[in-house]
Structure 1
Amino acid sequence: MSESKKMAGGMTRANGAILIAAVLLLAGAIGYAIWRDSAPGSDGAAAQPTAAPSDQLAALEARTRSEPNSADAWMQLGAARFDLGNFGGAATAYEKAVGLSPESAGLWSALGEARVMASQSDPMPPAALQAFDKAIALDPRDPRARYFRAVKKDVGGDHKGAIADWFALLEDTPQGAPWEADLRRTIEQVGAIHKIEVAGRLAKTQARPLTPNEIPVAARAIPGPSRSDMEAASQLPKGQQDAMIQGMVDGLETKLKANPADVDRWIMLMRSRMTLGETAKAAQALKDGIAANPGAAGRLKAQAQMLGVPGA
């Protein structure tokens, strides 16, 4: 949220290094600390080839034609378009989704974000604010909508009001949530720009404790990667980093095909997809995880909401 335009960014070199270091830590293991910027390990099996983004997009568009009354189909198309930077197209798809599932706060806030990103001039177009208001009416705790409503205050000149709202969001943010650091950075940046003292309050403000459903997947007696492991991973050329990361995720999906009842791995897959910026695939992982484990739907949804998975 450091740029006031999105809840979470895509893959960075630092994230890539940490994800690769996870291979050294978790090769063949079950579970990891979900709130670290890491990804699940693979057992060294060769990665399965994946479809090109254009092929994946075409498949999602075909699905909306065959299932025009499926909110899930339109939501995944919206997420895929968003991932590819087609924010106007994402907004159009999300509009279809909320029309079919108007009680989903997550869909409304995703629509609002797409409308913000699609705007060429107004940093907070009225249509985006309307979507965020809808989300808040359905779920007053929706973090994306709360964040952007505070952005509206900031761009409107109420910088202290925006900072107060961001602090309130920070207090309601689960400990270690992916957007916590960016939220703190936003508060710092806006405070510095407008000469509002925030350092003392930031030092005292802590994210809230996790609820039972939010408790992360715990690493099971597995030591963390060493500093030398991390440094070695960070020195890999970007192409090798990307290939290694994709191999990890593909290996995880292979394990889930063999054992779809492993709820922890579904959470890992969602986390990995969101870290890679593949929000549509994260949404599909949520759907597939719930289908395979209906009794764990509450936990899967709680984890997905904290990760920012669209529609969660």
Structure 2
Amino acid sequence: MSESNKMSGANRAILIAAFVLLAAAVGYAVWRDSVRSTIPPAVEGGAAPSDQLAELEARTKREPDSAEAWTALGAAHFDLGDFGGAAAAYEKAVALSPESAGLWSALGEARVMGSNSDPMPAAALEAFNKAIALDAKDPRARYFLAVKKDIGGDHKGAIEDWFSLLADTPQGAPWEADLRRTIEQVGQIHKIDVTTRLANTQARPLTANEMPVAARAIPGPSRADMEAASQLPKGQQDAMIEGMVSGLEAKLKANPADVDRWIMLMRSRMTLGETAKAAQALKDGIAANPAAAGRLKAQAQLLGVPGA
């Protein structure tokens, strides 16, 4: 009997919904309600998805050796539900950047989502195993490998792995709530009591490198500022946000050694859904501050910046 037949369609649907939520929260599969995050500045705005894809495809032709270009194309295909196209692009990306655990796990996810029969194709499992070999802490690969256990009938083992992932999850990480929900749902499906353990399990404290910059030393907007901004029309809000981000970029041009501002720029881009620009900010920040590469990458991973 194939593994795909070992669980009901309803259970599979619940699992799919759960890990789609998690992967989206982790940020590697990026904001699925829009492809704006992967669009170069020249084509942002009112372009149709087909035009956006055409520009991204044109970029890969101009820059065939750019893992970032292929990653952006893969993310755009994934956002549009074209998982086969996403997998093909991610395959190009990992060939160019084979040491990126995040790219391997993104490829694995695309292969899972593109499979109509097997909930964990062998090619997807291979990609997740490569991600884990590169980074044993890769959260998405760990998550999907636990899904593999659950599909294979080892429900308790899967739940144990998810609890282990939860224990390694930094406080406030964007995937924490969805991971807890997955544990709860799978426990309910298979009549495994996880309620007390979930209630008693706390995410680990943030390390210094993981502590969000805005919470550590850089002042943010006051409550009054936020309330005032919320009353503005959407167009004015967008203009305000763009002005703030442009101001950050201008300050970084004047002082590229300001590591905190690079982190703030990544955070701003991720908040706007501009993940390709966030990835570029990480790249530029490391180029300007090679001694701070570890800190920049740690912050980028917390924010869910692709390729961090």
SS at match of 1:124: coil
1:151 maps to what in 2? Answer: 147
Indicate the residue corresponding to 2:117 in structure 1. 121
| Cα gap change, 1:209 to 1:93, in 2 (>3 Å) | same
Relative to 1, partners in 2 of residues 1:4 and 1:245: Cα closer, same or farther, differing over 3 Å? farther
Q: Aligned letter for 1:210? A: L
Paired residue for 1:256, among 236, 248, 251? 248
Residue in 2 that maps onto 1:3: 18
Q: In 1, are the aligned partners of 2:248 and 2:265 still within 8 Å (CA)?
A: no
Instruction: Please give the alpha-carbon distance, in whole angstroms, between the structure 1 residues aligned to 2:210 and 2:243.
Output: 25
- Say which SS state the counterpart of residue 113 (structure 2) adopts: helix
The residue number in structure 2 matching 1:44 is none
Task: After TM superposition, give the deviation of residue 80 of structure 1 in Å.
Answer: 2.8
Cα–Cα, structure 1 residues 69 and 178, in superposed 2: closer, same or farther, change >3 Å? same
Give the CA deviation at 1:248: 5.3
Counterpart Cα distance in 2 of 1:98 and 1:111: 8
| AA of the residue aligned to 1:148 | F
CA shift, 1:275, in A, is: 4.5
CA separation in 1, counterparts of 2:237 and 2:77? 22
Assess if the C-alpha contact under 8 Å between 2:168 and 2:203 holds in 1. yes
- Deviation of 1:298 after TM superposition, in Å, equals 1.7
Q: Which residue of 2 aligns with 1:304?
A: 300
User: What is the CA–CA distance in structure 1 between the aligned matches of 2:221 and 2:248, rounded to whole Å?
Assistant: 24
> Residue in 2 aligned with 1:185?
181
Letter in 2 for 1:109: S
Between the aligned partners of 1:276 and 1:70, the Cα distance in structure 2 is 24
The answer on 1:137 being equivalent to 2:153 is no
**Is the Cα contact below 8 Å between 2:43 and 2:55 reproduced in 1?**
no
* Change in CA separation of 1:204 and 1:8 when aligned onto 2, cut-off 3 Å: same
- The answer on whether the counterparts of 2:245 and 2:268 sit within 8 Å (CA) in structure 1 is no
Report the Cα offset of residue 188 of structure 1.
1.2
Shifted more, 217-226 versus 120-129: the winner is: 217-226
What CA distance in whole angstroms lies between the structure 2 residues aligned with 1:171 and 1:83?
A: 30
Q: Deviations over 1:69-115 (max 9, x none)?
A: 22222122222322333322111111011111211111101111111
TM-score with structure 2 setting the length: 0.76
Shift in Å at residue 297 of structure 1?
Answer: 2.1
Cα-Cα RMSD: 3.1
1:161 partner amino acid = G
- Asked whether the 8 Å contact 1:143–1:169 carries over to 2, the reply is yes
**Alpha-carbon deviation of 1:273?**
4.1
Structure 2 partner of 1:225: 223
Q: Give the Cα–Cα distance (whole angstroms) in 2 for the partners of residues 267 and 215 of structure 1.
A: 11
Q: Structure 1 regions of 5+ residues with no counterpart? A: 13-47
Identity %: 73
The answer for unaligned runs of 5 or more in structure 2 is: 1-15, 26-30, 34-41
Q: Contact between 2:270 and 2:303, CA under 8 Å: does it hold in 1?
A: yes
